[in-house]
Amino acid sequence: MIEDTILASIPPAFRAEYEADIVHRVGMLLFRRGQPGIVAHLVETGAMAPAVNGLASLNPIGAGVQLAGQVVGQAIQVKQNSAIAAGIDTLKTMGLSNLALSGVGIGTTLISHALVSERLERIRQNVESIQETLDRVSRKIESLELKAIERDFIALDTACEVAEEAWLANDSTSEWKRAADKLHDLQKVFFVRAEDLLAARRYEEMEPFIDACALAGTTRVACRIATNDFALAIKNAEQLGAQLAGLIEPVGTPEWIEEKARQSALRVGTPEYVLAFTGLKADADARRSAYLERSQIALSAPHTLSRIKSLGLDGREWLERVRSEDSEPVLLLSGNDAET
């Protein structure tokens, strides 16, 4: 059993330090200003999906709260809604709500096909929203042929489903290894697509392929954890972090301004461009920040995995614990002052 001293809800005192900027977050790592080392790690749990759904709702608490105690079913609903509200508060407090709403994973230690499928559907919708643009680009870039993209999304969904069903298999380890191998291939496929778009300076269209690469990569890492192969999990997480950093970090604010101007049919130097520049820069800064968050989270994962390994925790037991959490969308894993 994983003790609460190792993995627990974020305590009020710690939240207060974060809100006061005494503790700050980089990716999923927490640091205390003026002190060396990682204070703690944030870990995504099975409660993420309901918290995200609550964030997306205009009324996340629900009318059931006002009807508590009338019937058992309503009482259960109240309890669920209260848990969702607490989860939403955690995401907001730790500055993770926008990222969670984007559908991007914020951890590498969770296999939940329901959550993965939901994220995959959001990525697919993103691809559909830029389909006309991709049609034009695909005439020049073979890897962006739409039928091939759809086939690979189906393959990604299937591989993630195999990873989930491995929990019930007679030989779970073999199934997780099989899923990890397929996910490795798909991670490469989506990385190449994003890389092609980076080379073509189509930064907006990169997003769904970056997210698909990340989804394949994080699920692959989770498969390695499930087989208790932390050395390989860390290596795979380092590879994913390097891939995402290589795609994201070259695209700075000037590149995003150029992209936003192109989308708005604004030509540099014209009066219309000068008038629109402040808004273009604000949009560009926001997109740059959102992209960098993905990179930072991927780069922080190997540190969290190293911490889990150093504590001598069993990989499958770890996953079972975070999957079964039904209240907090993120938990706090104790840090190590020796880490840098």
E strand intervals along 122-276: none
Q: Which residues of 176-199 are buried (b: 16+ CB within 10 A; e: fewer)?
A: bbbbbebbbebbebbbebbbbbbe
Residues 218-239, mean pLDDT to the nearest whole number: 96
Q: What is the pLDDT of residue 265?
A: 84
Residue 60 has pLDDT above 60, yes or no: no
Q: Which residue would you say has higher pLDDT here, 269 or 214?
A: 214
Report the pLDDT value the prediction gives residue 340, as an integer from 0 to 100: 38
pLDDT band for position 66 (cuts 50, 70, 90): very low
Query: Tell me: the pLDDT tens digits for 8-48?
Result: 999 998 899 999 999 999 999 999 999 989 999 999 888 88
Supply the DSSP string of 282-298, one letter for each residue.
Answer: HHHHHHHHHHHHHHHHH
pLDDT of 317 reads 94
Please state, for a pLDDT cut of 90, what percent of the chain lies above it: 45
Residue 61 has pLDDT above 50, yes or no: no
CA distance 186 to 219: 11
User: 142-191 pLDDT, tens per residue?
Assistant: 667 788 888 999 999 999 999 999 999 999 999 999 999 999 999 999 99
**Residue type (1 letter), 206:** M
The DSSP bridge partners found for residue 24 are 31
Q: How far is CA 313 from the centre of its chain?
A: 23
Q: CA torsion, points 21, 22, 26, 28, in degrees to nearest 10?
A: -110
What digits encode the pLDDT tens for the residues 90-133? 888 888 887 776 655 666 666 556 666 777 777 777 777 777 77
Task: Give pLDDT, residue 115.
Answer: 65
**Span 276-335, pLDDT tens digits:** 889 989 999 988 988 898 899 999 999 999 999 999 999 999 999 998 888 888 999 988
Q: Domain map of the chain by residue range? A: 7-99, 103-321
pLDDT at 94: 87
pLDDT for position 57:
67
CA atoms within 13 Å, Cβ hemisphere of 44: 29
Q: What is the DSSP string of 265-280?
A: TPPTTSHHHHHHHHHH
Across 105-119, 181-195, 216-230, 240-254, least confident range: 105-119
- Single out the residue of 289, 240, 257, 305 nearest to residue 99, CA to CA: 289
Q: What is the pLDDT of residue 302?
A: 95
Higher pLDDT among residues 181 and 268, named by residue: 181
